[in-house]
């Protein structure tokens, strides 16, 4: 997915990669691979190689044919799906650890929304303190009789 690798044209097909992730591209592997081959053969600007990964794929997603249809709709959707995959499980493991610290034997009846709210609050307060935290109007509007 790195722009330099894409622009080099060294990867002939991505069908093998797609086969390892059947939930991301279950039915249109051939169409995605065809779009990949078309992209590989498309002459791109030399500046495109130096773009950040997200900016590069955004530019590719915006490419259109003369009639207004996108050139690489399936490929860009698949790449964006790949970019959403976590690169490691450390952040997920930290989250489960925080849940286990919150949901103890004494607090085992907490519902999912309560735990989620506590984790969100903890995240918001991470870089500040409760005594100097500025409450936004958006949050204040949600604090009303309807929340009980």
Say if residue 66's pLDDT is above 70.
yes
In-domain check, residue 148: no
Cα–Cα distance measured from residue 66 to residue 46, given in angstroms and rounded to the nearest whole number:
23
Say if residue 57's pLDDT is above 80.
yes
Q: pLDDT class for 74, splitting at 50, 70, 90?
A: very high
Q: What is the 3-state secondary structure (H, E, C) of 32-48?
A: HHHHHHHHHHCCCCHHH
The residue from 46, 61, 84 where one domain ends is 84
Mean pLDDT of 80-90: 82
In-domain check, residue 64: yes
Say if residue 89's pLDDT is above 70.
yes
pLDDT in tens, 22-55: 887 767 889 999 999 999 988 888 787 888 999 9
Q: Mean of the per-residue pLDDT values for the chain?
A: 86
In-domain check, residue 28: yes
Parent domain of 51: 3-84
The closest of 37, 8, 17 to 79, measured between CA atoms, is 17
In-domain check, residue 111: yes
| Whether residue 70 sits in one domain with residue 32 | yes
Supply 28's token pair. 């249109």
Mean pLDDT of 77-88: 84
| Whether residue 41 sits in one domain with residue 76 | yes
The closest of 42, 38, 18, 20 to 28, measured between CA atoms, is 18
| Whether residue 69 sits in one domain with residue 96 | no
- Please report the pLDDT score of residue 26 as a whole number: 67
| Whether residue 106 sits in one domain with residue 51 | no
In-domain check, residue 58: yes
pTM tops 0.75: no
| Whether residue 130 sits in one domain with residue 116 | yes
| Whether residue 74 sits in one domain with residue 54 | yes
| Whether residue 117 sits in one domain with residue 75 | no
pLDDT in tens, 101-132: 888 888 888 899 889 988 988 888 887 777 77
């Amino acid at each position: 997915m790195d722009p330099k690798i894409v622009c080099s044209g060294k990867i002939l097909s991505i069908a093998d990669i797609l086969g390892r992730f059947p939930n991301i591209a279950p039915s249109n592997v051939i169409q995605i691979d065809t779009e990949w081959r078309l992209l590989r053969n498309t002459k791109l600007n030399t500046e495109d190689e130096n773009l950040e990964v997200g900016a590069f794929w955004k530019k590719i997603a915006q490419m259109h044919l003369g009639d207004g249809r996108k050139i690489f709709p399936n490929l860009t959707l698949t790449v964006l799906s790949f970019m959403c995959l976590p690169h490691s499980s450390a952040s997920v493991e930290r989250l489960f650890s925080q849940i286990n610290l919150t949901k103890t034997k004494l607090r085992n009846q907490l519902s999912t929304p309560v735990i989620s709210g506590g984790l969100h609050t903890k995240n918001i307060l991470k870089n500040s303190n409760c005594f100097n935290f500025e409450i936004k109007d958006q949050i204040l509007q949600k604090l009303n009789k309807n929340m009980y």
